[in-house]
Amino acid sequence: AQSVTQPDIHITVSEGASLELRCNYSYGATPYLFWYVQSPGQGLQLLLKYFSGDTLVQGIKGFEAEFKRSQSSFNLRKPSVHWSDAAEYFCAVSGGGYQKVTFGTGTKLQVIP
């Protein structure tokens, strides 16, 4: 069965500092990988996705993620965090097509001035 682990429940960073959110997945074949962001009381917004090709994926709002097959990881990064990045971030995995998408439990990001 596929699964996603986000080991950090809560992360605090200073504004302007770099950010890395961890995501490890379990899937038997080549996965489809996603990062979503959710502001309090809102729906999820897609930040970026990996289907194939270049393992470094660029997304919206200055985020990027790197797919590392050997480590079963898809970590999200941003070089300089803004106060507006404070939100909850979800990693997700799927097998493609009509297969189910499995979400991680989320990492809540707090940004301090």
Q: Which residues bind other proteins (CB under 8 A)?
A: 9, 32, 34, 36, 41-46, 49, 90, 94, 96-101, 103-106
Report strand pairing: 87-94 vs 102-103: antiparallel
Cβ contacts of residue 75 below 8 Å, gap of 6+?
20, 21, 22, 23, 65, 66, 68
Nearer Cβ to other proteins (54/100):
100
- Strand 73-78 to strand 87-94: parallel, antiparallel, or no bridges (unpaired)? unpaired
The nearest distance, CB 4 to other proteins, in angstroms, is 8
3-state secondary structure 33-61: EEEEEECCCCCEEEEEEECCCCCEEECHH
Q: How far is the CB of 11 from other proteins (least distance, A)?
A: 15
**Residue 79 or 96 having the CB closest to other proteins:** 96
Pick 15 or 86: Cβ nearer other proteins:
86
Residue whose tokens read 């050997």: 70
CB of 18 to other proteins, least distance (A): 25
Shortest separation between residue 3's beta carbon and other proteins, angstroms: 11
Q: Which of residues 5 and 75 has its CB atom nearest to other proteins in the complex? A: 5
